[in-house]
Structure 1
Amino acid sequence: MVDYSKWQNMELSDDSDVECLPGIDKRSYMEFLRRTKQAERERRKGEIEALKNKHSENVVVAQQVSNLITSLKADTASKSSDQDPFETAVGIVMQWSLQGVKSSESPPPPPGDLTQKTPEPTSSEKILGFLNDLENELNEQHPGDCYRRDAILDGLAACITDIESQQAEIAEKISILRAKDADKITSECCRTGFNSSHIKKAGTVGPESDDESSASSSEDDDELPATPAAIAFGELTPSDLAGSQALIACHPEILRDSEVNALLAKAFKAATKNKKDPKPELKGPAAFFRRMVAPGGELIRQFHQHVALRLHRLLNLVETNPKRRRRKGDQTQLFDAEPGRHARIGVPAVGSAERTIFDKFPSQMREALETGSRNRVNQVLGRMKFAEAKEMVALMGEAKCISVREETLDGTGGEGEELRQLPASA
């Protein structure tokens, strides 16, 4: 479920919902409001950055104060108590400063803060200032007290407690400022999802030149190569559903149309070499479905009929073009793309725009189209060059001389009986 509540916080204005006093230009007033809101957002950004820097600085100061307490306790155990503990603490802090302790430099000013001219004190300077104030306070309250070292340790512990309370206040202020920024949707909320696309370039179908001497059977074999996985899939029998499923699981790429076309091309080449009954591996489609093993066998029967129809069309194509492989070059022919979808040949009506295109056809092509015979049209196309025939087919489509007609077969009549007998005859 998509939550659209955030769009309720978007500030939209078409100038009609803005009210201003008479005599004040509305556009100038709206520009003033826009600049004011932008200045408030920039101010909140600066406050958030300053609080973040303060938070990081307090973390460093608290760590150094904790280390100072540990060093003072270790110095008390190892040395005599005659030395002033303040001098010992100041010496430790100065040694850290000379050694370049992390974050001993002043923090950078927050962005947009142009009023800050003097740099912020470093963490070492802050600790030294705290020790100086603590020493003055103890000298006023307990001058010459022998428990000054314990008082210093207590003061440093109280300093850590104050820093922790400051950290909690800083975190609360940052959360409040961020909540104000998140209350309204601005252009800063936009993020780039993606800015590029990767699309495979479509390959060009057909020969690159009309050089008839470039056509050969070896080059045709390279146009649609069958992968070893596809060949292994073709070697399986149609009834071996378990083996087909295992092979598809290991090699899902054989489900591509290119693999199916490669197997069909291999079957066509085998049929043109006087192999009237290609092997079963050249008949299978791209995939087997689990529903094919359901009780009743209806889907597997339909599958066999589909395979038989495709094989029947393949053999018919070979028989109608016995000399195609012996001729050099490519040829454009009209044929049915799928079973049950037939190409219908016709001529456009007289006086129509398509008729104007039809009248520009060669006389032989016009006569072939007027007969309505696809074989006559294929004969005329076969005598043309590939590029000329390809252009002629495109013009025939523009003139609406070719149309696809769906055919419904009656499964209870003679056509259905012939359809059921195709697997047995194949």
Structure 2
Amino acid sequence: MPLNYSKWDQLELSDDSDIEGHPNVDKKSLIRWKQRDIHEKRELRKHKIKTLEAQIACNEVLLPRIKNIHADLSSSSSSAPAPVYFNTLVSRLQTNPSPDCPPGNDPTKLEQTYDGMLFSLLKMVGEKAMERVKDSGTSEADKDAKLTKELVAEMEVHVKHLGETIEKDKEELETEEAEQKKHITMDDLHEGFESHYVPPTPAPPPVPVTAVKGGKGKEKAKATTIEVLNPKALEASAPAVPDIDAEEDEEDGLPELTPSLEAFSKITLWNYEQSFQFIQSHRDVYVPGASDALLVAGFRAQGEGKSKYAKQCVHQSLLIQYCEKLGRDGVGIFFKKMVSGDKRALKVFVDDVESTYEHLVNRVKINKEEAQNESREQIQLVPENPDQIISFNVPDGPPPENLVLEGPGTEGLDIEEVRKALQFRWDVYQGFTPDLQEALKSGGLDGVNNVLGDLDVAEAEAIVNSLDVAGILNFAEGGVRDQTGAD
């Protein structure tokens, strides 16, 4: 059988002995320049091929979506006018974008996601359409129709341009790949019957823990019993989960979110496929302490009023906990049941997410109330010494018309001045709330202090001053002493 030597034509030698150059330049330098030129062109070709492949893949995702938007704008049977539909779509892409993005991009950055790219395009289309409508001098009655026409025309331009770009990139990719195949490189050489040991990738470290001031020993933990999706799974005990009810000052530290966990926590609820793909591509998500860090992040988010994000953190934390509970192959078992739509498994997990989030919400509410009660200032009436008695001279009503002064010490008093003082005391008393009036009538100091304790400091001080000035408050010694916070 004749031998085929055509493959040797693909060899690209970088040290040919027949290189011809200038007589003043030594041959070794020419050979080195030739080698460098070949390697640089080879690397540039590889980079260009990867870039073209990425561009084609991204544009092939965007093109159908742009075509659908163009079709909806062109359709006369749409439920909403074209400008309203367009503005609603732009607003949704900006405020609630999907984290889906091309491989290697950051899902947390809007401009690197598919929705972010589409938002930029639609924003540009809207601005151009509005400029054309404004320049045309169209009347207000025909403005919507003109804007619809301009939006459709502009979208049609981008549909055509993107389609042509994809075809052009494909042709250029075919040319570069054909050129690459013309030459044999080290990447094309394969050694048979030879194995190389590649050590396994080391496991990622656990989630870092941040120290908390005032720590008093080891972190509180409680064993959480989870109803497993597979009753025949390993009977291993559930991992210790941080007790949401534990106070922060009783812990040595709190687990913090890593960048990967933060991105993982932003995946929307019940999106099992995306969570599964994220865990597969980010090993540092499925590590010790990850579920605890997500719970802590959810607790903090709920305290800041970010309820949607808090529930996502709880959801992602329980995802990891369930996978850990199901044993060595827990990730595959759990997501297989979730993605396939196992009704019993879905119900168990959804109920657990709802109950855990409800408990977290209640705990955050209780913590806020306790913090407010501890930090709230109060005004209280306190005797100067144990022998002193505080009493209240409560008027029964306004002074009578026939006021008579009797008893020792009344000889030099002006009856009209006394009448004014009594009327003033009655007016002050009538200005108090019913709760305070009842407390004053009872004569008990505790009842009055309870009413004052529920008021703001400024309001309580004004009331005590009014009691003193009107003569309703009686001390053995004059003055009011504020002992707020005293034991």
Taking structure 2 as the reference length, the TM-score comes to 0.33
TM-score (norm 1): 0.37
**Structure with more contact order per residue of length (Cα contacts < 8 Å, sep ≥ 6):** 1
